[in-house]
A and B are shown apart, each in its own frame.
Chain A
Amino acid sequence: MQIVFLTTDVLFFVLLTSISVYAIYASRREHLAAPWRQVSRRPLGMSAAVVLSAFLLVAVLDSCHFHPRLDGAENSDTRHSGEISSVLELLIAPLKNNFEKTYSAPFAIYAYAKETIEVEGGATRRDYPRLRHAGVHLRDPLERRSDIMQRSLGGVVLGLGATLAVVLVIVTLRARSTAGPWSESLSAVVSGRTEVPWRAIVLTVMLLAMAVGFCVRVGPYYHIMGTDKVGTDVLYQAIKSIRTGLLIGTLTTLVMLPFAIVLGIAAGYFRGWVDDVIQYIYTTLSSIPGVLLIAASALMLEVYMARHGEDFANLAARADLRLLALCMILGVTTWTGLCRYLRGEALKLREADFIVAARAFGVAHWVIVVRHIVPNIMHIVMISIVLDFSGLVLAEAALTYIDIGVDPSMESWGNMINSARLELAREPVVWWSLCAAFLFMFILVLAANVFADAVRDAFDPRLREAR
Chain B
Amino acid sequence: MIAYIIRRLAYAVPILLGVNVITFVLFFVVNSPDDMARLHLGNKHVTATAIEKWKSERGYDKPLLFNEAQSSSERFTDTIFYRNTVKLFLFDFGQSDSGRDIGYDISQRMWPSLAITLPVFVLGLLLTITIALAIAFFRGTYIDSWAVVICVAMMSISGLFYIIGGQFLIGKMLRLVPISGYDVGFSAIKFLALPVLIGVIGGLGHGTRWYRTIFLEEINRDYVRTARAKGLSEKMVLYGHVLRNALIPILTGVVVVLPSLFLGSLITEAFFGIPGLGSYTIEAIQSQDFAIVRAMVFLGSVLYIIGLVLTDISYTMVDPRVRLN
Contact = CB atoms under 8 A, between A and B. Distances in A.
A465 B308 CA distance: 31
Given A403-B286, A424-B168, A306 B43 contact: yes
A123 interface: no
B281 A292 contact: yes
A352 B216 CA distance: 30
B293 A296 contact: yes
Nearest to B148: A453
A307 B31 contact: yes
B300 A442 contact: no
A303 B301 contact: no
A466 B140 CA distance: 11
B156 A303 contact: no
Given A292-B300, A297-B26, A434-B164, A398 B267 contact: yes
A280 B220 contact: no
Contacts of A99: none
B282 interface: yes
A288 B267 contact: no
Interface string B83-104: 0000000000000000000000
Interface in A42-63: none
B301 A287 contact: yes
B217 A402 contact: no
Interface stretch (A67-75, A193-201, A223-231, A443-451): A443-451
A: interface residue count bin: 35 or more
Contact of B297 (A292, A438, A453): A292
B251 interface: no
B248 to A, nearest CB: 16
B167 to A, nearest CB: 8
B39 A306 contact: yes
Contacts of B290: 299
Interface in B157-173: 157-161, 164, 167-168, 172
A302 interface: yes
Nearest to B23: A296
B158 A295 contact: no
Contact of B267 (A300, A306, A402, A441): A402
Interface string A380-407: 0000000000100010011001111000
A174 B90 CA distance: 72
B35 A303 contact: yes
Contacts of B296: 292
A414 B241 CA distance: 45
B31 A295 contact: no
A291 B293 CA distance: 11
A392 to B, nearest CB: 12
Interface in A277-335: 280-281, 283-285, 287-289, 291-293, 295-300, 302-304, 306-307, 309
A306 B38 contact: yes
B30 A402 contact: no
Given A401-B267, A417-B160, A466-B213, A296 B297 contact: yes
B304 interface: yes
A394 B160 CA distance: 9
Contacts of B16: 287
B26 A449 contact: no
Contacts of B293: 292, 295-296, 299
A424 B180 CA distance: 14
B22 interface: yes
Nearest to B21: A284
A48 to B, nearest CB: 10
Contacts of A119: none
Interface in A420-467: 421, 424-425, 434, 438, 441-442, 445-446, 449-450, 453, 462-463, 465-467
16 contacts: A283-B15, A292-B293, A295-B293, A300-B26, A300-B27, A303-B36, A306-B35, A398-B160, A401-B270, A402-B267, A402-B270, A438-B157, A441-B158, A442-B156, A442-B161, A466-B220
Interface of A: 280-281, 283-285, 287-289, 291-293, 295-300, 302-304, 306-307, 309, 390, 394, 397-398, 401-404, 417, 421, 424-425, 434, 438, 441-442, 445-446, 449-450, 453, 462-463, 465-467
4 residue pairs, one from A and one from B, having the closest CB atoms:
A284-B18, A289-B300, A446-B156, A445-B156
